Amino acid sequence: MNYIAAYHTDVGLTKKTNQDSLGIKIIETDLGQAAFGIVCDGMGGLAKGELASKEVILAFLNWFDRTFVEEVRNNTFDEESLNGQWNEIIQKQNKRLGDYGSENHLQLGTTITAILLFKDKYHIVHVGDSRIYQMTNNYVYQLTKDQTFIAREIAAGRMTVEQSKTDPRRSVLLQCVGASNVVEPEFSTGVIMPNTVYMICSDGFRHQITEDEMLEKIGPNSVKDENGMKNGCIYLTELVKQRRETDNITVGLIKTA
């Protein structure tokens, strides 16, 4: 499988700093291309959210550049050990950021949502409410589940989707890296589909637009190259801002050939 990618990030309308961080990499291997995408959304209400998101991004990119590349080169990459490696990174970062916060009398945290596409499978690790979507010609499918108060209430039947849109607790997370005593990442895997866009985004990108609008502007039929993907990301980001989204806005796309 071959890949092309694009991304866009914006501080948004009201924030002074962009606490989102993003990384996307595509490499050539003897077993074909591999792609890795990650978004971390630093907690808007917590101090140093941009530091938390940056540190977690760097830890995962270091894993990709070193551990993953070495395992592929030596033909020792093991799907079963991947979740353990990712969990170890998250637990170390959770303790590291928690210790930093205690020492400096502040609280900092971040979501983490990442996807690895290699050979015929994708692998996802997820904490918080950033999202990964799979977009084909005809539909948009959310591959991650929000770990939020309102998502839990909707699942339990105590709140409707319409009620959740205006609920003041909309951004309350059940866990995040750096500010939770215990972090339990969610792992998932699936088969990579051809001519498909895998989209990774912070919650600020998705609040004000519909899945149909996503499909129209950045779906596989709408984006043929990196420039088209980039322009689609920018268009939707500006649309989100026109609709008065107040959060930072980040989106990354990985398209399969």
106 neighbors 97 (Cβ within 8 angstroms): no
Looking up tokens 């020792």 gives: 76
| pLDDT on residue 65 | 97
pTM of the full structure: 0.94
Cα 131 to Cα 135: distance, rounded to the nearest angstrom: 13
- Are the C-beta atoms of 202 and 245 separated by less than 8 Å? no
Which amino acid appears at position 216 of this protein? E
Write out pLDDT tens, residues 201-218: 999 999 889 999 999 999
Q: Facing residues of 190 across strands? A: 122
Q: Which two tokens stand for residue 238?
A: 């500006």
Domain residue ranges in the chain: 3-142+177-256
Lowest mean pLDDT among 13-22, 38-47, 95-104, 181-190: 38-47
How far is the CA of 212 from the CAs of 42, 160, 229, in angstroms?
28, 21, 16
Average pLDDT, the chain: 93
More confident residue, 90 or 257: 90
CATH fold of 3-142+177-256 reads Phosphatase 2c; domain 1 (3.60.40)
β-strands 197-201, 249-256 pairing: antiparallel
**pLDDT, tens digit (0-9, with 9 covering 90-100), for 10-56:** 999 988 899 999 999 999 999 999 999 999 999 856 678 999 999 99
